[in-house]
Structure 1
Amino acid sequence: MTVQNITVQSGDAGIRLDRWFRRHYPALTQGALQKMLRSGQIRVDGARAEANTRLETGQDVRVPPMPTAPAPIRPRVSEEDQAFMESLVLYRDASVIVLNKPHGLPVQGGPGITRHVDGLLDALAHEDERPRLVHRLDKDTSGVLVLGRTAQAAAALANSFRGRDAKKTYWAVVVGQPEIQGGRINLPLKREGGARGERTVVAQPADKAGQFAITDYDTLEVARRRVALLEMRPMTGRTHQLRVHAAEALKCPILGDGKYGGEDAHLEELPHELHLHSRALSIPHPEGGMLEVAAGLPPHMLETFRFFDFPNPVPAKPRWRR
């Protein structure tokens, strides 16, 4: 086993260093990777690097001797999981897959999480190439979720999300009615620990931990001032941004959002699940042009829409404008 110096290829541009190692050396554990980083055995262009270092085409990665254990064998996908994942597909071509993620299904694993989108992606593999996640939705947020079918496509899509070239549209049912029917929310946010785990809070102007967060919104429907249907378009991608902006800036928590709205976020006769849905997305396609995809509502939001007689137009068919 010898030290190698590997040049970053265009298909890996934009990904984190730790993900680059997981992609090319799947037998390497996270603990071993962190040890190599701390000791300086791994370097990028001759300099020490962190796990979250973003790689660029042409950079030189110093790779110390790697474990010789074979890559882990992928678990066989059951027919049930195969059918389930296929049922979520809204759009598919040689570079991109778009899913309508259900409410309650996490995108990635974590403590106590055994079933998640990332763990089911082998069901959508093509010619032994597994689709890759390029962004995330919260567990309780439903709707449009984009995957890259190749490393190069995934890098291009991820860059679009980071560069805010992806235009995201959400539908949210909120409790109450905003005083101003539409406009822009510009309220900085930060992550804060607590007894119940991390949460997103409003950052004070002098707080250096705060990050700017901007959301455009319009009120589409109002039902007797009890609830309103909002179209929300995040200009930034902070964790729980829409949920905090609705509760704190508009004083109208998203229906079912007990985390940020408390008891005020629940109405007795309506479903208590979070009513936040990634309705549509417009994003540059890795092969050029723009891809536009929309997703239908999850069952609990359909129930609420019927209860208040909100209009629910059929989502437009996916369109790749080249």
Structure 2
Amino acid sequence: MDRHQNDSRQAGESRPAVRMINIDSEDAGQRVDNYLVRILKGVPKTRVYRIIRKGEVRVNKKRVTADYRLQDGDLLRVPPVRVAEKTSRASPSAAIIHKLEGAILYEDKSLIIINKPAGIAVHGGSGISYGVIETLRNIRPQERSLELVHRLDRDTSGCLMIAKKRSMLRYLHAQLKEGKINKIYNALVLGRWPSRKVLVNAPLLKNTLRSGERVVTVDLEGKRSKTLYKVLERYSHANETATLVEASPVTGRTHQIRVHCLHAGYPILGDDKYTSDEDNRRFREFGLKRLFLHAARLELVLPEGQALAIDAALPEDLDGVLETLSH
């Protein structure tokens, strides 16, 4: 039996037959609803949950609930699901494809690490059709499972991990949870960061403003959050002072480095959410046009025991800012 039986197509709509899928170790551990959403492209989630509730989805000939986790060796029955073909959406731009193809820092049979360019979201949404993950899936249709291991803000550049196998995704998520992956960032902050300040330990809480904008604040009700810091270089130019710091998040909270820098009194320059417009305006004169935050290095151990350290060079625009400040 083929792992995924082919669907027949006719007159602008898909007419799939019953599919019998053998679950292997790569797909084991996923909730059945999430798995079905992934393989039934174009089928609304409401329809997926309906066929589960009606008992049309079977695992080993038995009904299951949406939260059932697939096991290695399960036989999954997927009923015929008819859905009108969507109008094909535009492909990712040639510019994005070119940038991502040239940004690969490391690749093996299970993992890709790229130097994500600033300005490209890691995934689509909010009017963005193609982020990093959608573009990679588009240009690598032969890859069965491409998934983001973690995320970077749209304006943050640098090391980003994409798993090519579910087993690698599960392994790296466990490593991140246990604090065994070291992520090192470079940030340019306003002012003179003191060498003695090597740790910011402040709980972070997500908030949503009336406008709908999401912001993170230091709050005792928030989640425990720690970031380690090291001064790399200080700059004084035209009556302005800035410090290039190395930031290593011990925990992995949304906007953690950005908010911890602000809390310490040294906001990241170019940050339009947490740094004042006036401070950002002054440093635009030195060529800084976006958030100066770069995921410079990843240190991890692969499942086979091999230590891996990947460096992403500072982008030319940020390097140019430092060059200007040095004179």
Give the TM-score taking structure 2 as reference length.
0.77
Q: Deviations over 1:177-200 (max 9, x none)?
A: 224543221100111110341111
1:16 shift after superposition: 5.8
The change in CA–CA distance for 1:276 and 1:119 in structure 2 (over 3 A counts) is same
Of 233-242 and 288-297, the range deviating more from structure 2? 288-297
For residue 304 of structure 1, what is the amino acid of its counterpart? V
**Map of 1:284 onto structure 2:** 301
- 2:201 matches 1:189: no
Q: 2:235 is matched with which residue: 212, 223, 227?
A: 223
**Map of 1:85 onto structure 2:** 100
Conservation of the 8 A alpha-carbon contact between 1:169 and 1:234: yes
**Map of 2:266 onto structure 1:** 252
Of 260-269 and 96-105, the range deviating more from structure 2? 260-269
Alignment partners' CA distance in 1, 2:201 and 2:55:
41
Number of matched residues?
302
- 2:37 matches 1:11: no
Q: 1:273 is matched with which residue: 290, 293, 302?
A: 290
**Map of 1:306 onto structure 2:** 323
Conservation of the 8 A alpha-carbon contact between 1:106 and 1:139: yes
Alignment partners' CA distance in 1, 2:302 and 2:90:
31
Alignment partners' CA distance in 1, 2:205 and 2:56:
34
The change in CA–CA distance for 1:34 and 1:47 in structure 2 (over 3 A counts) is closer
Of 147-156 and 195-204, the range deviating more from structure 2? 147-156
Q: 2:219 is matched with which residue: 180, 190, 203?
A: 203
Equivalent residues in 2 for 1:21-40, closer than 5 Å: 21-33=36-48
Alignment partners' CA distance in 2, 1:253 and 1:94:
40
Alignment partners' CA distance in 1, 2:197 and 2:210:
35
Give the TM-score taking structure 1 as reference length.
0.78
SS at match of 1:22: helix
Conservation of the 8 A alpha-carbon contact between 2:188 and 2:245: yes
Conservation of the 8 A alpha-carbon contact between 2:118 and 2:156: yes
- 2:130 matches 1:115: yes
For residue 222 of structure 1, what is the amino acid of its counterpart? R
**Map of 1:161 onto structure 2:** 176
The change in CA–CA distance for 1:84 and 1:14 in structure 2 (over 3 A counts) is same
For residue 258 of structure 1, what is the amino acid of its counterpart? D
**Map of 2:275 onto structure 1:** 261
Conservation of the 8 A alpha-carbon contact between 1:255 and 1:272: no
* Contiguous gaps of at least 5 residues in structure 1: 311-322
**Map of 1:243 onto structure 2:** 258
Q: Percent identity?
A: 30
Conservation of the 8 A alpha-carbon contact between 2:148 and 2:162: yes
The change in CA–CA distance for 1:245 and 1:81 in structure 2 (over 3 A counts) is closer
- 2:249 matches 1:234: yes
Alignment partners' CA distance in 2, 1:64 and 1:195:
43
* Contiguous gaps of at least 5 residues in structure 2: 1-15
